[in-house]
Amino acid sequence: MTTEITIQPESKISCENCQACCCRLQVMLITDTGVPERFIEIDKFGVQSMARLHDGWCAALNRDTMKCTIYQQRPLICREFEAGDYECIVERTANF
C-alpha cells in the first residue's frame, strides 16, 4: 500500500521566509564547486559531504540570518534544490 502526499503551500516560499530546512539534509559533494575545506567532512569510505554541526544543521549556515555563508561556492545539490519545489515543501512540512 502506498501513501500519496498532497501538500499545499500556505504562501510562496522565498529567501525572505525560508526556514532553511534543506540545510539539515546530508549533502554529498559530487562536484568541485569550491566549498572551503573547513566545511567538508570525509567518511571512512572517502565520501565527501558538507560538515554538519552537533545539532544537525549545515556548518556553512549562518544561524542568525539563516542564509548560506558560502552561497557562491555551495555544492551542486544545493544549487539544484529550489525553494518552493516539491522536495522543499516536503522538508518544510516534516520540520514543522
List CB contacts of 64: < 8 A, sequence separation 6 or more. none
Q: Three-state DSSP class for 39?
A: helix
Verdict on whether the full-model pTM lies above 0.85: no
Q: Three-state DSSP class for 78?
A: helix
Question: β-pairing, 40-42 with 48-50?
Answer: antiparallel
pLDDT in tens, 4-60: 555 454 556 665 667 777 888 899 999 888 999 999 999 999 999 999 999 999 999
